[in-house]
Amino acid sequence: MGIQAVRGTRDVLPGEIENWQRIEAIAREILARAAYQEIRTPILEYTELFQRGIGEATDVVGKEMYTFTDKGDRSLTLRPEGTAGVVRSLIENGLHTQGLQRLWYTGAMFRYENPQAGRQRQFHQLGVEVLGSGDVRADAEAIAIATDILQAIGLKDLTLQLNSIGNADDRQKYRTALVEFLTPFKDKLDPDSQTRLTKNPLRILDSKNAQTQAILENAPSVLDYLSSESKERFDRVQSLLQDLGISCNINPRLVRGLDYYTHTVFEIQSDNLGAQATVCAGGRYDGLVSQLGGPETPAIGWAMGLERLVILLQQLEQNRQSTVDFYVVSRGEKAEAQALKLAQLMRRNGFATELDMTGSAFGKQFKRADRSGAKACLILGDAEAENGTVQIKWLKSGEQSAIAQSELLNDIDRLRQQLSES
C-alpha cells in the first residue's frame, strides 16, 4: 500500500465537503448580520503563547500539543485552539485601541489525542471572540448567536449547560476547598485525577471515571464560593438568556479545560440522537489579554467543532442533497461542442450544471445523470446538433420535450419554477 494520511488526520472528500461548506456559509451570514468580522491567524505560533495563555498545568499544554524546535532553535507549536492566537494578534496589531472587537475565525487545530469519530489530531473549529466588553449582554449575545447558528444548520433539541466560575479570587477559594475535600480520597481517584489534584484540580470535575464521579457527588459547588458581585453577574446572564427565549441547565461541575476562563462558562449540547453531544463550548476570559502582555481587556468567546457538526448532520440524514439543476448529455463531435457551450450558458445564468464528458453511450450517461441527483437532463445528439434544439427530460416525472437552444433561457423564472417543483 502506498503513502497514507497521517494517523489522526483525514481527507474531506466530495459528497461530504458540501456539509462543511453549508455550515461555514450559514455561520458567515449570521455572524456578518451581527457585525462580527473574520480574522485569520497563523497555524504556527511560538510555544510560549500557549504555555502562558492556556496554562502549563492543562492537559492541552502538558500532553497534547505538537511542539518542535525549528532550525533557528525556536520552540514552535501547531495551534491547539484559536483564542490565544486571536488575542496575540489583537495585542500585536493594536486592535484593542480601536474599540470593541467582534471577531470570528475558522481553521485547523492540532492536538495529540486518541483518534475517534468526531475527534481527530487535526481538527477544525469555528469560533468567535468578543474583546473589549465586560457587559453581561456580551455573554448573552455570544450564546444567542451560537444558538442561532446551530439551529440554522438544522440541529434540534439543543440544551445549554451554564455555570459561573467567578473571578480569580472566587476560583482560588473554590480550588482550595475542592483540594481539601478530595485529598482524603486521593488513593481512590483515577490516575489522571491524582495528578490533577496538585496541578489543576478543577479538571477533576470533568473526569469520566465512575469511581471518581461517585466521590464528586458530595464535593463542594463552585456556586457556593462566588462573591456577591459574581453571583449578581451570573443572575443577570441567566435573566438575559431567559428574555431571549434560551433556557439553560445550571451545571456547577462545568469548568472548561483551559486556565484562562472566568465567570460565565457554557456548553451547548444536542441530543438529536438520544445521546448528548457537545457541539459548542466557551466562556469569558477577562484576564487573558493582560496575561499575554496587553492591557486589561474583558472578553468572551466560544468554538464549535466542525467535524462533530458534520457527523450530526449526516446522522440526521441532512448530509447531502444534490445541488445540480441540469445534467448535460451529448454524443457526437458537433453535439459535444454545443453541449459545452450550452453548459457554460446555463452556469452563467445561475443554474448548477454538470456536463458529462465521457463520450460514452447515451444509456451510460443517463445512468450517471440519475446518480448525480440532477432535476433535469439536457440531451444533445446528432439530430439536435443539426437543427439547433435540445431535449429537456425531467428526471422525476420522465416528461421530455424539445426546445430550440436559443429559446431555452427566454423564460428563466418559469425554468426555475419547474426546477423547484421537480
Q: What share of the chain is helix, strand, coil (3-state, %, to 5)?
A: 45, 20, 35
Residue 86 has pLDDT above 60, yes or no: yes
> What pLDDT shows up at residue 320?
47
pLDDT at 204 over 90: no
Grid coordinates of 134: 465586560
- Mapped onto helix, strand or coil, the DSSP state of residue 214 is helix
Q: How far is the C-alpha of 119 from the C-alpha of 377, rounded, in Å?
A: 40
Which cell numbers hold the place of 213?
Answer: 464521579
String of DSSP letters for 223-263? GGG--HHHHHHHHHHHHHHHHTT--EEE-TT---SSTT-EE
As beta bridge partners, residue 66 has 78
Q: Cα separations (Å) of 145 from 58, 155, 241, 244, 297?
A: 28, 14, 11, 11, 22
User: pLDDT over 90 for what percent of the chain?
Assistant: 65
Most confident of 12-16, 55-59, 101-105, 407-411: 101-105
pLDDT per position as a tens digit, 321-361: 557 899 999 999 999 999 999 999 999 998 999 999 998 99
Q: Which of 55-59, 192-196, 240-244: highest mean pLDDT?
A: 240-244
Q: Is the dihedral of CA 266, 261, 136, 251 positive or negative?
A: positive
Domains of the chain from N-terminus onward: 17-167+227-315 (3.30.930.10), 326-421 (3.40.50.800)
In this structure, are residues 190 and 207 in contact, taking their beta carbons and an 8 Å threshold?
yes
Give the pLDDT band of residue 121 (cuts 50, 70, 90): very high
Contact 352, 419 (CB under 8 A): no
Q: Cβ neighbours of residue 1 under 8 Å, at least 6 residues apart?
A: none
DSSP assignment of 132-195 equals S---HHHHHHHHHHHHHHHHHHT--SEEEEEEE--SHHHHHHHHHHHHHHHGGGGGGS-HHHHH
Q: What is the pLDDT of residues 241-254, one digit of tens each?
A: 999 999 999 999 88
For the segment 178-207, the average pLDDT, to the nearest whole number, is: 86
CA-wise closest residue to 101 among 233, 289, 235, 283: 289
Could you tell me how many helices (H) and strands (E) the chain has, helices first? 15, 16
Q: Maximum CA pair distance of the chain?
A: 91
229 pLDDT tier (thresholds 50, 70, 90): very high
* Residue 72 CB partners (closer than 8 Å, separation 6+): none
pLDDT level of residue 69 (50, 70, 90 thresholds)? very high
Closest CA to 353 of 384, 374, 380, 332: 374
Burial class (CB in 10 A: 0-12, 13-18, 19+), 85: buried
- Please name every residue paired with 75 in a beta bridge, in sequence order, or none if there are none: 69
The C-alpha atoms of residue 152 and residue 142 are separated, in whole angstroms, by 15
Report residue 318 CA to chain centroid gap: 16
Question: What pLDDT is stored for residue 258 in this prediction?
Answer: 63
Grid cell for residue 92: 500585536
Tens of pLDDT, residues 369-383: 988 889 999 999 999
Q: Give the pLDDT band (50/70/90) at residue 304.
A: very high
Residues 87-98 have a mean pLDDT of: 95
Name the pTM for this structure: 0.78
For residue 273, pLDDT over 60 is answered with: no
Percentage of the chain with pLDDT > 70? 96
Residue with cell 481587556: 297
Confidence at 197, pLDDT banded by 50, 70, 90: confident
Q: Which of 242, 216, 408 minimizes the C-alpha distance to 326?
A: 408
What DSSP state is assigned to residue 121?
A: S
Give the residue among 174, 129, 179, 126 at the shortest CA–CA distance from 150.
126
Q: What is the rounded CA–CA span in Å between residue 90 and residue 65? A: 23
Phi-psi region of 11 (alpha: psi -120 to 50; beta: other; left: phi over 0): beta
CB-based contact 375:327 (threshold 8 Å): no
Give the Cα separation of 81 and 41 in Å (integer). 11
